[in-house]
Amino acid sequence: MIQVAVTDLEYRKAQKVFTAAANDGLHCLSAPPGEDELAAFIRQVGVRYAVIGVEPYRGPVYDSLPRGGVLARFGVGHDGVDKSLATGRGIICTNTPGALDDSVAEHAINLLLAAARHTVTVAAGVKTGQWTPIVGRELADKTLAVIGCGPIGRRVAQIAAFGLRMKVVGCEVVDVNHEAMEREFGFAHVTKEFAEAVADADFVSLHIPSVTATRYFMNRDRFARMPAKAWLINTARGAIVDERALYEAIVAGLIAGAALDVFEREPYVPVDPDKDLRGLKNVIMTPHVGSSTQEACDRMARQALANIQAAITGRYDDMNVLNPQVLTALGGT
């Protein structure tokens, strides 16, 4: 039986899948998520394969895994994984693309609906004895700007356009097939220019990766380009939004509000204690639950384990490898 370390939160999210992996020769063990503790666990148990969550791993874990080991990300975003360091140690890094697209897209729409109808505020009011209806907005014919037209952004557009009858404008830096984007996903228009995409937006939904070039993508300048009526929706990554600039934009009335599932620091801690987003009534905050549906968690677990099984048998072409350079050194393609 091959042992696999699975960080505790991820293990609990898909425990049935990880337990059932024993039928395929994998004994999945719940492991601590903190890097020092995880590294110690890996050494103590002697595992070659580890499934990890969203926490950043910057050093000890790469020293603990043997050459040819796998660090399998339970999810898509991999900004917490040091691919360069892993490559130097001969460790294969993988993720689970596609496994969470529907769940994250649905949560983006959930946040959009909550913003439009003030759901969080009125629901909390009823529970405290208040009965103060707030007039909301219908979404039909409203404009949604989708920033980043990858799989999740396209799914959000599809739901908004075909399900809610919204006008959807996309912003994507690479060339796209405009006819296909309109026919299959409901985009009215796709542009490479942020200012053009958000010019008349009622909602702006972010679906771009967190890389060096996108850090603080949403900054003072881009907030200033959004209409005052617009809400920002972020289910992508916290680091793409300058939270200080967001706070200032909301307080100044440059934008209407924000619905956020991801933050620069998680669990949320304000970057600036004087600009705590929790104190603003027109900010909706959820604890990074976009991909936390049972269906998505099960898919991510199965895909992470499939990557490990492929590594065990040397089927590198069947893996979702994040650092393909390492395969050459390991004798792969």
Give all domains of the chain, ordered by start, each with its CATH number.
2-99+293-329 (3.40.50.720), 101-285 (3.40.50.720)
- Give yes or no for residue 333 having a pLDDT over 80: no
Dump pLDDT digits (tens) for 40-90.
999 999 999 999 999 999 999 999 999 999 999 999 999 999 999 999 999
Q: How does the average pLDDT of the chain come out, rounded?
A: 97
Based on the number of CB atoms within 10 Å of its own CB, is 16 exposed (0-12), middle (13-18) or buried (19 or more)? exposed
Token pair of 116 as six digits: 């439009």
* Distances 191 to 9, 224, 323 between C-alpha atoms, Å: 39, 19, 31
What mean pLDDT is predicted for residues 265-272?
97
The phi, psi pair for 226, rounded to 5°, reads -80, 145
Q: Select from 184, 177, 180 the least CA-distant residue to 161.
A: 184
| Bridge partners for 285 per DSSP | 260
Dump pLDDT digits (tens) for 133-156.
999 999 999 999 999 999 999 999
Which band of pLDDT confidence, cut at 50, 70 and 90, is reported for residue 178? Answer: very high
The residues annotated with a catalytic role in the active site are 237, 266, 288
- Give yes or no for residue 182 having a pLDDT over 60: yes
pTM: 0.94
Which band of pLDDT confidence, cut at 50, 70 and 90, is reported for residue 332? Answer: low
> Is residue 62 within 8 Å of 41, Cβ to Cβ?
no
